[in-house]
């Protein structure tokens, strides 16, 4: 039992030290003329709740009458916004189209036996407009909060 | 400890363990995230996310950990050297729930982790949460497994609860192993360069193959560990018989027979010229059919051999799963046979209708091909299956006497078949009489009437002999007293746990279950060895005893019958 207690103590100290020494991500920005650089900036803007900037990286679907308001409404409506983080995965570019895989971890605690972190794998589709990459799908962001 | 106190201790222990282990899991996951994932190309929101999860993890670990430690220490103090506490149903229930839950969670976590490794171990997809769950639930499982193995199963409840765990995991492992073996071979066959352009597929080394391989290895290990190690020598167990007969033998039989029927159907269609163009794509179902037959046969033969070897060790009271297995397989065989016969009579009636109405209708050439292929496939599988198992049922009924005739599985089988046949007959007769009368009254009595009654005629021809045959058996059983309820008394037998054989023999003779109480502490060593005549006399004494309740006490080499009543 003593060994077990020591192991748990070491784990606690290691976790606290590691978390408190994570460097900030601003120093690790990817080039803006790459698909992954756009996806990274899109999520950074969402983190800062800078919705106008985040929306500028998107191409809204032509069917939407009020695209910005529709897109923004879940971001504003959600009273209890869970914490989330995004890890960029591999990307592929073919002519003027590209895909970027991302792993999204959403933190939503719901009881002593439940895993509080929900992980989902999402593929972003991008299109090149002139020299700028823009996100075509997924257009909405409600899945970040549920 | 009182029951209420036990419930209180183990419930809080269980919840505190959940809280503590989730907290440890969160901290481990955070550590993996920071060490392994953080140097990955880019993460957004990692810092605040890690701080939020760390806060919850620390809170759950500290509060849950302290609570868990205090309650575990209190429980261990109460349990120490006390067999009644060690064997208590509540303790063993909670422990086995923890064992089952942690084993399954760690199994799924291990599958995800190994799949990640096989997919190329991409750092940005590192399953931090999955690996943390694997470590935490693995430690929980190992700790509780060691505790339960060390303290043993000192009560019948403890033995039963352990068996639930052992046979549930054995079954889980066996099913995972079998299903994924078939899946892997199917994928491999579909990737063979023999299908021409009929199948377009990606790389063989895909996520489905990773999943199959991992489940084969882990499912096989889980089955091997629980079946060969933990269930070894556990012959005197009804749950073992349920696993053997109802899961392994019936399950593999049904899977194999479905595959065999599909195989025969495909072969007959091909033999009757129903395949146009290349036959390769037509036979791609062989990819799952052949391995299903082989795997099902292997599972069936192995478990059949085990059940036969153990038959000598198993007491009569545990024959119920074997009996249910025989009647279930007879039912499947009979159903398959009946389906084949109905289709066969349908083809004959179609032939007759086509012959009578030649010239009146356009008939596609080879219209009979699919029907005849299906009919032959069903008959080829259903007939031997029914004959094999029904022969076993007849042998049991001849040898088993009134206990066998009264068996619930036999009564349910017979009445279910009879009821289905009567309902079919009634529906058929209504349709036939309606069509005949309508044809006569409308003045249109001819081929249309035959065509409209075709389904009723083909099912009627099969339902009549099925009903007659099973009705005769029902009547025969009734004459032999199968429906006469024995005078059921509340019989309690006070013995030690060496007297299982005696309990079985008394139950067989009485025709109903006996409640068994076991001595605690010093148990009598002189449980009598009764001859068949003495057991019959004992049954007569029980029936003749006044009142509705009797306690049987084994004492001084005799069984004393004591009638009693509660006031």
Predicted confidence at residue B264, as pLDDT, reads: 93
Cβ within 8 Å, pair B54-A19: yes
Q: Quote the Cα angle for A67-A71-A73, to 5°.
A: 120
pLDDT in tens, B515-539: 888 776 555 566 777 877 788 788 8
B522 CB burial (10 A radius; 0-12, 13-18, 19+): exposed
Predicted confidence at residue B278, as pLDDT, reads: 73
Other C-beta atoms closer than 10 Å to the C-beta of B40 total 19
Predicted confidence at residue A26, as pLDDT, reads: 52
Closest to B138 (Cα-Cα) out of B113, B118, B119, B174: B113
Cβ within 8 Å, pair B54-A15: yes
C-alpha–C-alpha distance, residues B132 and B493, integer Å:
51
pLDDT in tens, B438-481: 988 888 778 888 888 999 999 999 999 999 999 999 999 888 87
For residue B32, the chain A residues in CB contact (below 8 A) are none
Please state, rounded to an integer, the average pLDDT across all residues of chain A. Answer: 84
Cβ within 8 Å, pair A115-B22: yes
For residue A24, the chain B residues in CB contact (below 8 A) are 47
Predicted confidence at residue B7, as pLDDT, reads: 94
In the numeric block, which tokens belong to residue B193? 């360069």
Predicted confidence at residue B408, as pLDDT, reads: 82
For residue A25, the chain B residues in CB contact (below 8 A) are 42-47
Predicted confidence at residue B516, as pLDDT, reads: 84
Q: Which residues contact B289 (CB under 8 A, 6 or more apart)?
A: B259, B260, B262, B263, B266
Q: Which of A15, A115, A119 sits opposite B30 (nearest CB)?
A: A15
C-alpha–C-alpha distance, residues A108 and A110, integer Å:
6
Predicted confidence at residue A142, as pLDDT, reads: 77
CA distance to partner chain B, nearest, from residue A104 (Å): 10
Q: For B152, phi and psi rounded to 5 degrees?
A: 75, -170
Residue A146 vs residue B311, higher pLDDT? B311
C-alpha–C-alpha distance, residues B62 and B224, integer Å:
38
Beta bridge partners of A98: A93, A126
Q: Which of B41, B57, B60 sits opposite A88 (nearest CB)?
A: B41
Cβ within 8 Å, pair A19-B50: yes
C-alpha–C-alpha distance, residues B370 and B218, integer Å:
41
Residue B539 CA to its chain's centroid (Å): 35
Q: Choose the mutation target among A18, A57, A104 for the interface with B, i.e. most B CBs under 10 Å.
A: A18
Predicted confidence at residue B363, as pLDDT, reads: 61
Cβ within 8 Å, pair B42-A89: no
Instruction: Express as a percent the part of chain B with pLDDT over 70.
Output: 92
Closest to B453 (Cα-Cα) out of B355, B370, B349: B349
Query: Using H for helix, E for strand and C for coil, what is the string for B29-97?
Result: HHHHHHHHHCCCCCEECHHHHHHHHHHHHHHHHHHHHHHHHHHHHHHHHHHCCCHHHHCCHHHHHHHHH
Question: DSSP labels for A11-71?
Answer: HHHHHHHHHHTPPPGGGGPPPTTSHHHHHHHHHHHHHTT-HHHHHTTB---TT-SSHHHHH
Q: Into which CATH architecture does domain A33-144 fall?
A: Roll (3.10)
Cβ within 8 Å, pair A47-B45: yes
Cβ within 8 Å, pair B125-A43: no
Q: Which of A18, A36, A85 sits opposite B45 (nearest CB)?
A: A85
Other C-beta atoms closer than 10 Å to the C-beta of B129 total 24
Quick check: B534 and B518 in contact, CB under 8 A? no
For residue A87, the chain B residues in CB contact (below 8 A) are 37, 40, 42-43, 46, 124-125
Angle subtended by helix axes B156-190 and B207-224, to nearest 10: 150
Reply yes or no on whether the pLDDT at A101 is more than 80.
yes
Q: Which residues contact B418 (CB under 8 A, 6 or more apart)?
A: B467, B470, B471, B474
CA distance to partner chain A, nearest, from residue B154 (Å): 25
Residue A49 vs residue B199, higher pLDDT? A49
What is the SS3 assignment for B527? coil
Predicted confidence at residue B496, as pLDDT, reads: 73
Q: Choose the mutation target among B40, B44, B73 for the interface with A, i.e. most A CBs under 10 Å.
A: B44
Q: Choose the mutation target among B30, B42, B129 for the interface with A, i.e. most A CBs under 10 Å.
A: B42
* Domain residue ranges in chain B: 319-479, 490-564
Predicted confidence at residue A79, as pLDDT, reads: 63
Chain B: residue nearest A8 by CA?
B24
* Domain residue ranges in chain A: 33-144
Topology of domain B490-564, per CATH? Alpha-D-Glucose-1,6-Bisphosphate; Chain A, domain 3 (3.40.120)
Q: For residue B288, is it left (φ>0), alpha (ψ between -120 and 50) or beta? A: alpha
Cβ within 8 Å, pair A117-B40: no
For residue B59, the chain A residues in CB contact (below 8 A) are none
In the numeric block, which tokens belong to residue B32? 């993996």
Is the pTM higher than 0.90?
A: no
- Separation in Å, CA A40 to CA A55, A76, A102, B15, B159: 13, 21, 10, 40, 57
Distance between first and last Cα of chain A: 40
C-alpha–C-alpha distance, residues B460 and B469, integer Å:
14
For residue B51, the chain A residues in CB contact (below 8 A) are 19
Predicted confidence at residue B314, as pLDDT, reads: 61
C-alpha–C-alpha distance, residues B218 and B224, integer Å:
10
C-alpha–C-alpha distance, residues B336 and B389, integer Å:
13
pLDDT, block means (10 residues), chain B with 567 residues: 90 95 93 77 78 92 95 92 89 96 96 93 85 96 95 90 96 97 92 71 84 96 96 86 90 94 91 78 85 96 89 60 88 95 92 75 71 94 95 88 81 94 96 92 83 92 96 91 70 78 77 78 66 80 85 81 86
Predicted confidence at residue A129, as pLDDT, reads: 87
Predicted confidence at residue B484, as pLDDT, reads: 67
Q: Which residues contact A33 (CB under 8 A, 6 or more apart)?
A: A131, A132, A133
Cβ within 8 Å, pair A121-B19: no
In the numeric block, which tokens belong to residue B125? 């997809």
Predicted confidence at residue A97, as pLDDT, reads: 94
Closest to B57 (Cα-Cα) out of A86, A16, A22, A120: A16
């Amino acid at each position: 039992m003593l060994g077990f207690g020591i192991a748990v103590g070491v784990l606690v100290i290691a976790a606290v030290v590691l978390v408190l020494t994570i460097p900030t991500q601003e120093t690790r920005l990817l080039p803006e003329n790459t698909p992954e650089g756009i996806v990274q900036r899109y999520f950074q803007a969402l983190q800062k709740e800078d919705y106008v900037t985040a929306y500028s990286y998107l191409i809204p679907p032509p069917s939407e009458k009020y695209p910005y308001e529709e897109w923004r409404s879940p971001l504003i409506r959600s009273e209890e916004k869970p914490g989330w983080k995004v890890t960029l995965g591999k990307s592929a570019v073919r002519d003027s189209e590209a895909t970027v895989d991302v792993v999204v971890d959403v933190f939503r605690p719901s009881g002593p036996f439940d895993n509080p972190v929900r992980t989902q794998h999402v593929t972003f589709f991008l299109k090149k407009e002139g020299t700028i990459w823009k996100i075509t799908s997924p257009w909405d962001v409600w899945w970040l909060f549920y | 400890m009182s029951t209420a106190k036990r419930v209180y201790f183990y419930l809080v222990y269980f919840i505190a363990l959940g809280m503590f282990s989730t907290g440890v899991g969160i901290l481990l996951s955070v550590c993996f995230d920071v060490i392994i994932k953080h140097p990955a190309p880019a993460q957004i929101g990692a810092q605040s996310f890690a701080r939020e999860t760390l806060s919850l993890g620390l809170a759950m670990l500290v509060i849950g950990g302290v609570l868990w430690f205090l309650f575990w220490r209190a429980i261990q103090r109460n349990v120490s050297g006390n067999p009644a506490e060690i064997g208590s149903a509540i303790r063993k229930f909670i422990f086995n729930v923890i064992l089952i839950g942690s084993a399954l969670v760690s199994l799924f976590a291990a599958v995800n982790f190994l799949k990640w490794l096989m997919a190329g171990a991409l750092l940005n997809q590192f399953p931090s949460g999955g690996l943390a769950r694997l470590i935490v639930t693995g430690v929980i499982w190992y700790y509780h497994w060691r505790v339960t193995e060390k303290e043993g199963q000192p009560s019948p409840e403890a033995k039963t609860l352990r068996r639930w765990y052992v046979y549930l995991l054995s079954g889980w492992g066996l099913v995972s192993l079998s299903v994924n073996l078939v899946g892997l071979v199917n994928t491999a066959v579909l990737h063979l360069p023999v299908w021409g352009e009929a199948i377009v597929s990606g790389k063989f080394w895909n996520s489905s193959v990773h999943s199959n391989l991992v489940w084969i290895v882990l499912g096989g290990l889980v089955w091997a560990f629980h079946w060969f190690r933990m269930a070894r020598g556990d012959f005197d167990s009804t749950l073992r018989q349920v696993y053997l007969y109802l899961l392994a033998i019936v399950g593999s039989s049904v899977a194999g027979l479905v595959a065999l029927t599909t195989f025969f159907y495909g072969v007959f269609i091909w033999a009757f010229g129903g395949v146009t163009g290349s036959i390769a794509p037509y036979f791609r179902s062989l990819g799952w059919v052949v391995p299903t037959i082989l795997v099902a046969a292997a599972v069936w033969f192995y478990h059949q051999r085990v059940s036969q070897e153990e038959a000598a060790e198993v007491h009569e009271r545990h024959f119920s799963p074997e009996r249910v297995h025989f009647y279930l397989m007879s039912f499947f065989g009979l159903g398959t046979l009946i389906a084949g016969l109905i289709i066969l009579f349908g083809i004959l009636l179609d032939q007759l209708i086509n012959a009578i109405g030649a010239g009146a209708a356009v008939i596609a050439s080879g219209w009979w091909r699919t029907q005849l292929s299906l009919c032959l496939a069903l008959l080829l599988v259903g007939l031997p299956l029914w004959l094999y198992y029904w022969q076993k049922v007849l042998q049991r009924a001849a040898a088993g006497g009134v206990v066998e005739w009264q068996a619930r599985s036999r009564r349910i089988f017979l009445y279910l078949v009879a009821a289905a046949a009567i309902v079919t007959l009634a529906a058929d007769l209504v349709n036939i009489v309606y069509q005949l009368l309508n044809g006569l009254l409308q003045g249109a009595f001819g081929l249309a009437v035959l065509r409209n009654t075709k389904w009723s005629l083909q099912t009627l021809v099969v339902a009549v002999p099925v009903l007659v045959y099973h009705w005769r058996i029902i009547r025969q059983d009734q004459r032999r007293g199968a429906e006469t309820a024995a005078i059921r008394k509340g019989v309690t037998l006070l013995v030690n746990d060496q007297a299982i054989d005696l309990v079985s023999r008394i139950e067989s003779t009485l025709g109903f279950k006996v409640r068994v109480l076991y001595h605690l502490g010093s148990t009598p060593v002189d449980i009598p060895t009764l001859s068949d005549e003495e057991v019959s006399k004992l049954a007569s004494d029980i029936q003749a005893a006044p009142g509705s309740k009797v306690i049987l006490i084994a004492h001084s080499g005799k069984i004393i019958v004591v009638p009693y009543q509660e006031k």
